[in-house]
Amino acid sequence: MENSVATTNYKYVSYLWDEEVAKSFGDDQVALLIYRSNLLGADLRLTNYAGGNTSCKTVEKDPLTGNDVDVMWVKGSGGDLGTLKKSGLAGLYLEKLHSLKNVYRGLEHEDEMVALFNRCIYDLDSKAPSIDTPLHAFLPYKHIDHLHPDAIIAIAAAKDGEQITKELFGGKLAWVPWQKPGFDLGLILEKTVQENPGITGLILGSHGLFTWGDTAYESYINTLETIERASEYLNENFGKNRPVFGGAKIESLPKEERLEKASALIPILRGFTSSQNRMIGHFTDDERVLEYINSNDLDKLAPLGTSCPDHFLRTKIRPLVLNLAPDADLSDAEAVKAQLAEQFEAYRADYTAYYERCKHDNSPAVRDTNPVIIIYPGVGMFSFAKDKQTTRVSSEFYINAINVMKGAEAISEYQGLPEQEAFNIEYWLLEEAKLQRMPKEKALSRKIALVTGASGGIGKAIAEKMAQEGACVVLTDMNAEALEEAKAEFESKFSKDIVATAVVNVTDPQAIVDSFKKANLAFGGVDIVVNCAGLSISKSITDTTEADYDILQDVLVKGQFLVSKEAVKVLRKQATGGDIVNIASKNGIVSGPNNVAYGTAKAAQMHMSRLLAAELGPDKIRVNVVNPDAVIRGSKIWGSGWAAGRAKAYGISIEELPAYYAKRTVLNEEILAEDIANAVFVFVGGLMNKSTGNVLNVDGGVPAAFLR
């Protein structure tokens, strides 16, 4: 098929093919497969994250015989089309895959076939073959795309989907009724193609789309044109026979009020959804979401559940719709909890009943019964999962489901997947095996850490340690430019999903309140708060001004108080315990010259920590202190004149300070920012959950600072 201008003029999908890039691959069909896959995965209107798969068939030399053999290259289990590389493909002998038909024992033995796919591997560097392998193998086409576009699934999930498919595509697309993916479905696809010569694709009921071509480009264009036609048809019908979703039942709150409500509520929801396993949250008030959740049809559609397996594997079969007025007063957290507790219990009971109705003798045990998707009409949609990427993607998948419902209702009537079929996917033994193979979670996975003074020095080192151990981190600092640099570094080292920032001067109460709102909206709340923001002034008492004294008290003492006060509000809403770690100093214990204002403030920080530990113990909120000393390399305070002041106090040069500090310790070691970060992790990493009110010195061993 020739590349032409006419084929690139699409309204509902993106044409991304670059002929010069394609030519650079020559006749390397596997490279063209990867290129096509990346283009398809780059347009979320075509498929969702980690959804769908693509393939091509080539002739290769058999390394054992030297003979030409047919090989199929197909996206392996897991992975994402948008980022697919050759390492994400499975390369399999096509003849061996077909020979498995001779040993297939029927639907009740489906799962045993997956292990046999491994015996068909040609490329020893292959990714594990997926359950969809036979669907590609048994179709007689060189290049195949299997995607889950919302526009197609809207037809696939419509009551009259089969008839609409026939009329809309003029018989060029065949309809295949819903069946769980597997070997038998591959045989059905093969038979359907044989019985319908000349078709250009297949629509799988409640599932997705198969399209193909003789070349990578032909398959790409066939896919785009098919989805474009379906999208065009849906858009022609939106609001044609009745208002979208039956019209609006309620109006959304204004944007700022929505965010205010969401920030106030999400820690409470996180607490409920974390009753079995701690969860990370996500909020969206996307216009597509608001149109659905404010509609007259919400009560009808939400209980029906999602249709496409990709959707409900991420979102559970149905959401929890809160019975809570958009303008409800959320200021009394305990009253809100009391109002919502019954709704969560009802959801858990409903999910448990679904499990009991549908389970088989060999089904895995019931999983977490809490909702993944929570709808607050007039405000927005919350999602909760084990990490930020998973919960964000779950939200995106439910938006896909909303798009599907909207389309199906515009052209016919939406149908969710039958309950038993949904269960058979959700509790599929192969899915359970995949879950069991997941790597062990890190010590701080599922936790959220907010660190003040985090743009550099000790604060940044602490935040980095938290991220390394699996936490989502909120970096706060008064230096906006340095904060942006730190954010970019964290995004590069970790991912955009795990980091958020807030410009905060800890002497500004409103800025602190706003930083916790950012933490709430970004991740659902907070579990670990590290008070590290600070400054230092070293002067004799006669040289210390009232302004010097006041700023140290304001930043170190009042700042710690204000941050901790807001932290406790969020931690109590969640009711899942938590940690406050305060970075004080050896100077809070040891008396030294030219240090009256700084040492006094540090001593106050330490005693405030003890007071909070005593007060917050019943809430399972632990409060502990780390006392650094002489952290010179990378520490921000040494650029403030502190180094010169301390050198003067000890009668040495600034250059002699590192050696001076090391020699006065029993270990004779220099203290680094990373050492302080490790000490914080000691308190929050899970092994010290019964420790509160403690002080951990990280000073190399200064006998005068030994606690006794």
Q: Which residues are catalytic?
A: 598
CA dihedral sign, ordered 162, 167, 168, 169: positive
The answer to whether the CB of 346 falls within 8 A of the CB of 321 is: no
Q: Are strands 448-451 and 528-531 parallel, antiparallel or unpaired?
A: parallel
Residue with tokens 């009560």: 299
Q: Count the alpha carbons within 13 Å of 441 in the hemisphere toward its beta carbon.
A: 16
SS3 label, residue 652: coil
CA–CA gap between residue 690 and residue 687 (Å, rounded): 8
CA–CA gap between residue 581 and residue 699 (Å, rounded): 17
Q: Which residue in 502, 261, 238, 475 sits closest to 377, CA to CA?
A: 261
- For 690, counting Cβ atoms within 10 Å of its Cβ (0-12 exposed, 13-18 middle, 19+ buried), the class is exposed
Amino acid letter for position 401: A
**CB contact set of 20 (below 8 Å; sequence gap of 6+):** none
Q: What are the angstrom distances between the C-alpha of 298 and each of 252, 320, 322, 414, 416?
A: 14, 11, 12, 12, 14
Amino acid letter for position 134: P
CA–CA gap between residue 505 and residue 477 (Å, rounded): 7
Question: Which helix H or strand E contains 683, and what residues bound it?
Answer: helix 673-684
Q: What are the angstrom distances between the C-alpha of 164 and each of 159, 233, 234, 308, 534?
A: 9, 10, 11, 18, 66
The answer to whether the CB of 519 falls within 8 A of the CB of 448 is: yes
The answer to whether the CB of 556 falls within 8 A of the CB of 534 is: yes
Q: What is the DSSP string of 564-604?
A: HHHHHHHHHHHTS-EEEEEE--GGGTS--SS-HHHHHHHHH
SS3 content of the chain, % helix, strand, coil (to 5): 50, 15, 35
Residue with tokens 């938590």: 578
Q: What are the angstrom distances between the C-alpha of 623 and each of 276, 445, 566, 690?
A: 24, 20, 14, 11
Residue with tokens 């193609």: 193
The answer to whether the CB of 422 falls within 8 A of the CB of 317 is: yes
Q: What are the angstrom distances between the C-alpha of 203 and each of 74, 155, 164, 206, 554?
A: 20, 9, 11, 9, 66
CA 457: distance to chain centroid? 28
CA 9: distance to chain centroid? 34
